[in-house]
Amino acid sequence: MGEHRPLFEFVDLPREEPEKQAITVRTHEFSEIYRSFKQPGIKEQSERCISCGNPYCQWKCPVHNYIPEWLALAAEGKYIEAAELSHQTNSLPEVCGRVCPQDRLCEQACTLNNDFGAVTIGQVEKFITDNAFEQGWKPDLSNVEKQPYKVAVVGAGPAGLACADVLIRNGVQVTVFDRYPEIGGLLTFGIPEFKLEKEVMARRRKIFSEMGIEFRLNTEIGKDVSYDELESEFDKVFLGMGAYKAVDGSLEEGQSQGVYRALDFLIGNTNHLHQYGINDRPFINLKGQDVVVLGGGDTAMDCVRTAIRQGAKSVRCVYRKDEESMPGSRKEYKHALEEGIEYIWFQQAEKIIRDDSNKVTGLQCRNTKTQEQTEIDCDAVIVAYGFRAEQVAWLENTQLEYRDNDTVLTSEDNGYRTAQKNIYAGGDMVRGADLVVTAIAEGRAAAESICEDLGVIT
């Protein structure tokens, strides 16, 4: 494989990314900003990989994708074979190709990164999966021996879906429960479509269903189904409920008009665009308003870019440190800058300013360098300080143990088994708000532990 590939393609061909939608188009549309790479471009960019003897890109990836191997297949136009290989380590490669911060993971670790520009790993990953699906490829489970075991997965986010994927591939019957009407968790309801179009997850749901995974959506555990029912019907339970509790900004966000929590804003926008019927997430319309978003992570970038597309008059991102300290993706920072976002550094929000009619008119901040007080005029404030896990009432009678930050106590070292027999957990409810790919890695690892405990060979 790859014996006829040029040895020094990375010298002759620079790193390239697919063309972006024009600013005048993308700031008004909720659709992915990158146009699709064409096949010649995919082959050329894949050929730039030098197949390192010690592939740093693979080790930097939380799921340890066989990156050099599927790049070699892509370079030869063998996209279905590349997709097959990709799925051996990743349950959602088409998602990771779109939303992973490759600039901090595989591409940052690429040997070519500093001198020649990293291979565009993320875009190739996205392409090979999309292309394989377009050709009609789907996972072949015809030779999988069905096992007499049933596992309940609570939460249809990346951790839960990854766990279900590995289980069904090993013949274990899986039922995934989720309170929302579609699978994906924050992939569907939190991440805006300019990063991940909803059709991607709808297609993935169809594929998973055809593999044999059962989905019970619009179903809330503890309300529609009790834990006792889960325990009696299923041999094992995996918890992948994420981290949805917003970090408190002490600004009465979510409690008063004009000051909003990030997830309320993002989920409400998706719910409005697709009419999902989620009653507790109403649409927050910022058209014509001067908007301030607080925070420096990817969620803050999602909020500022969504506000722009809603037609906000102005959008500013206020962060307590400098640009280099922002925890979010550099790509997302640049995309927002291109779309007209203004950044204000070294400011810590302290108080909402209102007029006599209780309307928001500004934000009082403290300069974190000089300690001086400043005011920023605005009509609306979105608090995007991050999320944390929280304990749920329906698990209170179990033996689960928690850390001080309310994450479930388990880890890779014990195979994501919890203190409660037959319960496993992974993703954000174990490590706190983190990357999609780390949730996938933990869901897959937990599934392997479940198979081991059931006596199923993986």
For residue 56, is pLDDT > 90? yes
User: What average pLDDT does this structure show over 340-364?
Assistant: 97
Distances (CA, A) of 416 to 109, 171, 392, 427: 27, 20, 18, 10
For residue 266, is pLDDT > 60? yes
Cβ neighbours of 246 (radius 10 Å): 19
pLDDT tens digit sequence for 59-111: 999 999 999 999 999 999 999 999 999 999 999 999 999 999 999 999 999 99
Distances (CA, A) of 167 to 61, 147, 262: 22, 10, 34
pLDDT tens digit sequence for 436-456: 999 999 999 999 999 999 999
The pLDDT of residue 458: 66
Q: Bridge-partner residues for 380, per DSSP?
A: 291
> Percent of the chain, pLDDT > 90?
91
Please name which of 345, 350, 353, 344 lies closest in space to residue 373, comparing C-alpha atoms: 350
Which amino acid is residue 419, in one-letter code? A
For residue 351, is pLDDT > 80? yes
Can you read off the two tokens belonging to residue 54?
């010690």
Q: Cα–Cα distance between 35 and 37 in angstroms, integer?
A: 7
The pLDDT of residue 1: 45
Report the side by side order of strands in the sheet with 314-318: 259-261, 380-383, 290-294, 314-318, 342-344
Q: Check residues 14 and 215 and name the one with the higher pLDDT.
A: 215
User: What average pLDDT does this structure show over 230-258?
Assistant: 95
Q: Cα–Cα distance between 265 and 261 in angstroms, integer?
A: 6
pLDDT tens digit sequence for 108-128: 999 999 989 999 999 999 999
Torsion of CA 417, 422, 428, 431, to 10 degrees: -20
Please name which of 264, 237, 261 lies closest in space to residue 250, comparing C-alpha atoms: 261
Q: Cα–Cα distance between 285 and 304 in angstroms, integer?
A: 13
Please name which of 299, 337, 293 lies closest in space to residue 319, comparing C-alpha atoms: 293
The pLDDT of residue 226: 95
pLDDT tens digit sequence for 412-430: 999 999 999 999 999 999 9
The pLDDT of residue 5: 52
Using alpha carbons only, how large is the chain's radius of gyration in Å? 23
Q: Cα–Cα distance between 117 and 110 in angstroms, integer?
A: 8
Q: Cα–Cα distance between 94 and 406 in angstroms, integer?
A: 31
The pLDDT of residue 52: 87
Query: What band does 8 get if pLDDT is binned at 50, 70 and 90?
Result: low
For residue 158, is pLDDT > 50? yes
Looking at beta carbons, which pairs linking 106-114 to residues 24 or more positions away fall under 8 Å?
106/57, 106/58, 106/60, 106/61, 106/65, 106/67, 107/57, 108/60, 109/56, 109/57, 109/59, 109/60, 110/56, 110/57, 111/50, 111/52, 111/56, 112/10, 112/15, 112/48, 112/50
List, in order, residues 6 or more apart from 351 with CB less than 8 Å away.
251, 363, 364
pTM reported for the whole predicted model: 0.95
Instruction: Please check whether residue 442 is in contact with residue 412, taking contact to mean a CB–CB distance below 8 angstroms.
Output: yes
User: What average pLDDT does this structure show over 329-356?
Assistant: 96
Q: Tell me what the pLDDT averaged over the chain comes to.
A: 94
Query: What band does 249 get if pLDDT is binned at 50, 70 and 90?
Result: very high
Mean pLDDT lowest among 133-137, 222-226, 327-331: 327-331
The pLDDT of residue 457: 75
Q: Cα–Cα distance between 442 and 451 in angstroms, integer?
A: 14
Instruction: Please check whether residue 246 is in contact with residue 303, taking contact to mean a CB–CB distance below 8 angstroms.
Output: no
Query: What band does 14 get if pLDDT is binned at 50, 70 and 90?
Result: confident
Can you read off the two tokens belonging to residue 93?
């490669």
Distances (CA, A) of 97 to 45, 114, 341: 15, 21, 25
User: What average pLDDT does this structure show over 30-56?
Assistant: 89
Please name which of 339, 38, 30, 35 lies closest in space to residue 199, comparing C-alpha atoms: 30
For residue 353, is pLDDT > 80? yes
Query: What band does 160 get if pLDDT is binned at 50, 70 and 90?
Result: very high
User: What average pLDDT does this structure show over 12-29?
Assistant: 90
The pLDDT of residue 6: 55
Can you read off the two tokens belonging to residue 264?
């309320």
For residue 4, is pLDDT > 70? no
Sole residue written with tokens 């996938």: 440
Please name which of 71, 64, 66 lies closest in space to residue 48, comparing C-alpha atoms: 71
The pLDDT of residue 13: 82
The pLDDT of residue 355: 96
The pLDDT of residue 37: 80
All domains of the chain in start order, with CATH: 9-134 (1.10.1060.10), 150-243+389-454 (3.50.50.60), 246-385 (3.50.50.60)
For residue 2, is pLDDT > 50? no
Can you read off the two tokens belonging to residue 282?
């109403």
